[in-house]
Amino acid sequence: MIDAQSALASPAVIRREDYQPPDWLVPDIALDFDLDPATTRVTAVLDVVRSSAHGRPLRLDGDGQVPTKVLVDGNPHNDWRMDGDTLEIDLPGSEHRIETEVAIHPDRNTQLMGLYASGGNLCTQCEAEGFRRITFFPDRPDVLARYSVRMTADRKRFPVLLANGDPIASGDAEDGRHWAEWRDPFPKPCYLFALVAGDLSANRATFTTMSGREVQLGIWVRAADLPKTEHALAALQTAMAWDERVYGREYDLDVFNIVAVDDFNFGAMENKGLNIFNSRYILADPDTATDADYDAIAAVVAHEYFHNWSGNRVTCRDWFQLSLKEGFTVFRDQGFSADQGSAAVKRIEDVRTLRAAQFPEDAGPLAHPIRPDSYMEISNFYTATIYNKGAEVIRMMATILGPDSFRASTDLYFDRYDGTAATCDDFVRCMEFGSGIDLTQFRHWYSQAGTPRVSAALDHDAGSGRATLRLAQRTAPTPGQPDKEPFVLPLKLKLFGGETGAALSNEQLFMLDRPTADITFDGVTERPVLSINRGFSAPVIIESDRSSADLKFLSAHDDDPFARYEAMQQLMLDTLVAAVTLGRADHEPVIDAVRRTLEDPALDRAFAAEAVLLPSDSFVGDQLEMVDPEAVFRAREALRRDLGKHLAGLWRSAYANASQAGTFVYSPAAKAARRMRSVALGYIAASGAEDAADVAFAQFEAADNMTDRQGALTTLVNGKSDKRIAALDIFYNRYSGDALVLDKWFQTQALSMRDDTPQVVADLARHPDFSLANPNRARSLVGAFGVNQRAFHMAGGAGYRFLADHLIALDKLNPQTAAKLLPPLGRWRRFDPARATLMKAELERILATPGLSKDLFEQASKSLE
Ligand code: ARG
Ligand code: ZN
């Protein structure tokens, strides 16, 4: 546990209830950057205005720097002081002009927050609190300023100078330097500030908005990467049109630029008019990017673009409201992606993500509501809960309101809060006002953590023709929240006839808002089968007493594609849980259900390929009282083997049919074929077929695209054949100059189900291409290993030691990225005492590390509580 000494050094806890409006406002700021990777001088001129009749000094946030100059109203000023990192200045009047100068060092910035160097270029990342690492400013999202930015830099090294807003002027300076000025007319919080200086080339296009304005679009990358920007540029144009059509949102500046950088702490950043992206969410061509990469690029490009309204025009009052912009924007990007291909498959993928990343968070020591009550380090709250559960909460409101009321309510929200910093409650109030629906109780979704469990039992009295559905909800305690109020759960329901398959009811939307409820259906003459939480209408866990026969039936007959997928998943889960807990299970119902799905000619191939996949090791583990990773692995492999063997002919023909495609195209049908091919190949290998490695290797060699190549590599890397070594070498040599593809090489090995994965991963950590300094690379090995349930938890604790060693090392460079990789260690309560003891010991070792960041301190200490 935390000893007195480290508790003394604990970082301060910031509480939502302590929110106070800003003492000083900054309507305008002018920034002047004398750019150089070693030392950059930043001059900031702030027009400050006292916000009310108070006598408090001006306090400007910094991070480690001391001003080299302070002027007040143009005069040198010596009466300033540092309170920790904060610059404090007493001011007599209500309006003043403050000028400060600082020197910062981009090339020593390994945290990648503030102004930093990546691949020879300079760029910024300010969300959440990086702007204070650039200059002194009230670094909080409710201080909105108009920015003008001047940059001077060496013309040869940094021919391109970009910032937010519109370009104003540029010209030559002395000594081979040049300058540029940009102005952003829209007041914004400082977390949306950005600049880029570099040797970059643009893929350009235009977009004409719905009111007829022409916007210049540019995607900026290294010249050599220009051919890989077509997909992102097309996605941007599609997203701009989609937001006009679906939400009535028009773009508002004359330029919209995106810059791709290789060193980036997360996916991308929505800086006003100048989005900065992790290059993995921009660069794609068939040889280097998988279909999943293409999809993710379109989704992230859309996400960041959509923030222009949900995040920038309307921003957050404080960081506790983060889900106001992130949950809503994820919901928006999910809707966009659903409209680009199969909406059913998109929903399946989103629910899979929620279950893989958010349900465990909600069930563990780091559980928090989508609007948290407190934090030590806000970077730790860019979580699946804020983003993905946040999106589910918006989705539930959209379901409850219906499409027309929801659109009227979002219009109202954008209109009412444009140019302001709003709260989650402001959003909910707009939903109420636009629809006339009272959402008082619904607001528990914002204040309570934890995933509700809903039990559903259906009784049928054949004599009276009455069916009764008994529903009950309960939510387990989470840290700091022992008792939960009932949630409002919008549950889509339908009954089917167990013999005829006929619909016995229409789909209805039932609001479960009490602990229990009974619903009766009359005129039910046939034994009914329950379809519940159709479309995953509420982010809950359903516990039903449906038999495997009923689940099999629904997996073939339900007319809601998600419910159909879900029935198959439940059948698979029940089978695997039985295998683990009872030591044996009947595989026949699953085999039969998968057979029917493969044989159903009416089914979309993209859907069928997802439906026949077994739930992941971790998701099976999540269903157990205590996770036994080896037993889960064995049960899952046994079921895979039986599916592979018993349906061998079907897998072979699915594989052959899917292989008939000609050269690569990125279309829904071609994607579906590639997906089915990889899934079928996996089952062919699982069956133990002698030629499986040859088939995989042939696909690996013949592939004209990364999806097929990586699919084959994954199969080989999970298998026993020596061909995996050959394939890994070929892959490495072919792509040794491409960092994003090398990440796949590391990640595929870190995710392998082979017995030797812990050793392979330890060796890879010493590979010359491995580095903790690049977040993508660190995640591709250390992050992937942490979520490989079997390898990470192999008896003996070597995996735990490996993770802790690397977190401690990474923390010194980049605390934010280190802290993101800690949660697998915090799951110790879910494992046997031997593993739990080893995991806790590593958390304690991390906490005892001198100079630990508050990022890692918060994650590790909460994980031990
Ligand atoms: N706002 C960005 C996005 O979701 C992500 C910023 C993440 N910031 C952080 N400190 N982790 O689009
Ligand atoms: Zn976002």
State the pLDDT confidence band at 246, using cuts at 50, 70 and 90: very high
**What is the whole-number distance in angstroms between the Cα of residue 387 and the centre of ligand 1?**
10
State the pLDDT confidence band at 10, using cuts at 50, 70 and 90: confident
Taking residues 546-555, what's their average pLDDT? 97
Percent of the chain exceeding pLDDT 90 equals 98
Taking residues 26-44, what's their average pLDDT? 99
| Backbone dihedral angles phi then psi of residue 812, each to the nearest 5 degrees | -70, -25
Q: What pLDDT digit, counting tens, does each position of 721-734 carry?
A: 999 999 999 999 99
Return d(Cα 302, Cα 298) in angstroms, integer.
6
382 close to 277: Cβ distance less than 8 angstroms: no
Torsion, Cα 387 391 392 397, to 10 degrees, reads: 140
674 close to 711: Cβ distance less than 8 angstroms: yes
**What is the whole-number distance in angstroms between the Cα of residue 225 and the centre of ligand 2?**
25
Q: What pLDDT digit, counting tens, does each position of 770-813 carry?
A: 999 999 999 999 999 999 999 999 999 999 999 999 999 999 99
Rg (CA), the chain: 28
**What is the whole-number distance in angstroms between the Cα of residue 817 and the centre of ligand 1?**
12
Closest ligand to residue 269's CA: 1
| Backbone dihedral angles phi then psi of residue 163, each to the nearest 5 degrees | -150, -175
Which H helix or E strand runs over 647? none
Closest ligand to residue 815's CA: 1
Taking residues 493-506, what's their average pLDDT? 94
Closest residue by Cα to atom 2, ligand 1, is 269
Distances (CA, A) of 863 to 5, 819, 846: 18, 12, 11
Taking residues 839-849, what's their average pLDDT? 98
43 close to 31: Cβ distance less than 8 angstroms: yes
**For the purposes of burial, counting CB atoms within 10 Å of the CB of 86, is it exposed (0-12), middle (13-18) or buried (19 or more)?**
middle
- pLDDT tops 50 at residue 57: yes
Q: What is the pLDDT of residue 661?
A: 63
Catalytic residues: 304
Return d(Cα 243, Cα 264) in angstroms, integer.
27
Distances (CA, A) of 801 to 733, 769, 846: 31, 22, 10
Examine residue 128 and say whether the peptide bond preceding it is cis (omega within 30 degrees of 0): yes
What does the block give as tokens for 43?
A: 């001059």
Determine the atom of ligand 1 nearest the C-alpha atom of 128.
Answer: 10
Note the maximum CA span of the chain.
95
Per DSSP bridges, beta strands 541-544 and 453-461 are: parallel
- pLDDT tops 50 at residue 3: no
Q: How many CA atoms lie within 13 A of 455 on its CB side?
A: 8
**What is the whole-number distance in angstroms between the Cα of residue 48 and the centre of ligand 1?**
28
Return d(Cα 815, Cα 697) in angstroms, integer.
40
3-state secondary structure of 862: helix
Return d(Cα 285, Cα 299) in angstroms, integer.
16
Closest residue by Cα to atom 8, ligand 1, is 127
Ligand 1: which of 266, 323, 328 to mutate, most ligand atoms within 8 Å of CB?
Answer: 266
- pLDDT tops 50 at residue 2: no
- pLDDT tops 90 at residue 523: yes
Ligand 1: which of 127, 297, 330, 380 to mutate, most ligand atoms within 8 Å of CB?
Answer: 127
555 close to 534: Cβ distance less than 8 angstroms: no
More confident residue, 5 or 133: 133
CB-defined site of ligand 1, < 6 Å: 127-128, 266, 268-270, 303-304, 326, 379, 382
Closest ligand to residue 281's CA: 1
State the pLDDT confidence band at 754, using cuts at 50, 70 and 90: very high
- Cα 361 from chain centroid? 13
- pLDDT tops 60 at residue 405: yes
3-state secondary structure of 277: strand
- Cα 854 from chain centroid? 22
One DSSP character per residue, 143-204 reads --EEEEEEEEEETTT--EEEESSEEEEEEE-STTEEEEEEEEEEEE-GGG--EEEES-EEEE
Q: What is the pLDDT of residue 130?
A: 98
Listed in sequence order, the residues at least 6 apart from 248 whose beta carbon sits closer than 8 Å to its beta carbon are 407, 411
401 close to 863: Cβ distance less than 8 angstroms: no
State the pLDDT confidence band at 496, using cuts at 50, 70 and 90: very high
Ligand 1: which of 382, 385, 858 to mutate, most ligand atoms within 8 Å of CB?
Answer: 382
Per DSSP bridges, beta strands 69-72 and 75-76 are: antiparallel
- pLDDT tops 70 at residue 93: yes
**What is the whole-number distance in angstroms between the Cα of residue 16 and the centre of ligand 2?**
21
Q: What is the pLDDT of residue 9?
A: 63
Return d(Cα 129, Cα 122) in angstroms, integer.
18
Lowest mean pLDDT among 1-10, 16-25, 223-232: 1-10
Helix residue ranges per DSSP H, 206-321: 230-247, 291-306
Q: What pLDDT digit, counting tens, does each position of 309-350 carry?
A: 999 999 999 999 999 999 999 999 999 999 999 999 999 999
70 close to 60: Cβ distance less than 8 angstroms: no
- Other Cβ atoms within 10 Å of 771 Cβ, number: 15
Closest residue by Cα to atom 9, ligand 1, is 379
